[in-house]
């Protein structure tokens, strides 16, 4: 079936540096999401995005986080500056209708902040 | 806010055993309920969902019934296989476009051959 691709699959970065996580969503999808999963813990919603705007963000979506999808390219999550507690697996998801029948997750980017 | 509780953090079974993973939810509205499965190195994949009270979702021999009275959506399978070993997540969402998923803590299922 259609896939969401996440690039890179792994990233190690020094604390305080900027990192950009890239997501190539399913080609005709319109709604985009980021989730965060700390090792051994549950998946938690960060933000969703539609028509160039953030629809909703959680308390985990700190001021240092930002998302964008310029001109139909990658949907990106930028963290600037990074902190140790940002170490986690970040999952991107996309859907066409915003409903649940076609909600597709990527395989995640494993971010380690040292 | 909304929340999902999975009672079992880990379950270890032998092939052909019966599986139950308990899921209870708390939500202000009338959510859609989901079961997702996650294999190592991959993102969650939808097993099935249910949107109405008493609706049964099923896939690959797994099933769960939406119970609004007990706010539960327990996952069951009559006879597990080694290939079912994975992490299973119960989740809920409201029915607005672009709505977020709220996940439970996950249950790691290990099936011995």
- Residue B15: per-residue pLDDT: 97
**Structure tokens of B71?**
């706010």
Give yes or no for a contact between B72 and B22, defined as CB atoms under 8 angstroms apart.
Answer: yes
Distance, CA of A91 to CA of A70 (rounded, Å)? 19
Average pLDDT, chain A: 93
Closest Cα in chain B, distance from residue A17 (Å): 26
> pLDDT-derived band of residue A53, with 50, 70 and 90 as boundaries?
very high
- Residue A101: per-residue pLDDT: 67
- Listed residue (A7, A3, A17, A6) closest to A87, CA to CA: A17
Give yes or no for a contact between A9 and B40, defined as CB atoms under 8 angstroms apart.
Answer: no
Burial of A98 (0-12, 13-18, 19+ CB in 10 A): middle
- Residue B88: per-residue pLDDT: 97
- B contacts of A58 (beta carbons < 8 Å): 100
**Structure tokens of A98?**
């915003």
- A contacts of B99 (beta carbons < 8 Å): 48, 98
Please tell me which residue, A84 or A97, carries the higher pLDDT value. Answer: A84
Residue A82 clears pLDDT 80, i.e. is over it: yes
Q: What does residue A31 show for φ and ψ, rounded to 5 degrees?
A: -110, 135
Cβ–Cβ contact A38 with B under 8 A: no
Residues of chain B with pLDDT below 50 are none
Burial of B58 (0-12, 13-18, 19+ CB in 10 A): middle
């Amino acid at each position: 079936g259609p896939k969401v691709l996440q690039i890179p699959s792994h990233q190690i970065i020094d604390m305080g540096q900027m990192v950009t996580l890239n997501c190539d969503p399913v080609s005709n999808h319109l709604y985009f999401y980021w989730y965060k999963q700390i090792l051994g813990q549950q998946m938690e919603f960060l933000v969703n995005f539609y028509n160039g705007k953030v629809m909703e963000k959680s308390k985990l979506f700190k001021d240092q986080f930002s998302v964008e999808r310029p001109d139909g390219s990658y949907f990106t999550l930028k963290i600037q500056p990074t902190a140790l507690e940002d170490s986690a697996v970040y999952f991107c998801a996309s859907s066409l209708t915003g409903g649940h029948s076609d909600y597709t997750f990527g395989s995640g980017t494993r971010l380690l902040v040292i | 806010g909304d929340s999902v509780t999975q009672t079992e953090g880990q379950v270890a079974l032998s092939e052909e055993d019966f599986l139950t993973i308990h899921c209870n939810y708390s939500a202000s509205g009338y959510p859609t309920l989901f079961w997702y499965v996650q294999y190592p190195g991959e993102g969650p994949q939808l097993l099935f969902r249910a949107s109405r009270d008493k609706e049964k979702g099923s896939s690959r021999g797994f099933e769960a019934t939406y119970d609004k009275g007990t706010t539960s959506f327990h996952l069951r399978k009559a006879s597990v296989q080694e290939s079912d070993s994975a992490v299973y997540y119960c989740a809920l969402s409201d029915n607005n476009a672009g709505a977020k998923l709220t996940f439970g803590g996950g249950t790691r299922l290990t099936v011995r051959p």
